[in-house]
């Protein structure tokens, strides 16, 4: 019998912890603006990853061995 109220309390606590963040939060952008923003973020992320990979590959084979050994 008390499980129902426990679930409700857990839901309330989870909602309080989440604050105001929600997956479907309205950021005030049109779909086109959102696409543009996300595309730009993706390009920056890809450039950062490429730069990181270029830096790691110039380090030599020893860096690769160390990373493989940790796994």
Give 32-46 pLDDT, tens digit per residue. Answer: 999 999 999 999 999
Q: What is the pTM of this model?
A: 0.43
Query: Is 40 part of a structural domain of the chain?
Result: yes
Query: Is 41 part of a structural domain of the chain?
Result: yes
Give 18-29 pLDDT, tens digit per residue. Answer: 876 655 666 788
Query: Is 63 part of a structural domain of the chain?
Result: no
Query: Is 38 part of a structural domain of the chain?
Result: yes
Structural domain of 36? 2-57
Give the tokens for residue 26: 């309205």
* DSSP 3-state percent helix, strand, coil across the chain (nearest 5): 75, 0, 25
- The total of structural domains in the chain comes to 1
Query: Is 26 part of a structural domain of the chain?
Result: yes
Query: Is 62 part of a structural domain of the chain?
Result: no
């Amino acid at each position: 019998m008390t499980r129902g109220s426990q679930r409700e309390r857990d839901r309330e606590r989870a909602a309080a912890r989440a604050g105001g963040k929600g997956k479907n939060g309205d950021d005030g952008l049109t779909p086109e603006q959102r696409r543009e923003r996300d595309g730009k973020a993706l390009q920056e992320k890809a450039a950062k990853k490429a730069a990181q990979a270029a830096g790691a590959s110039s380090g030599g084979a020893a860096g690769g061995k160390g990373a493989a050994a940790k796994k």
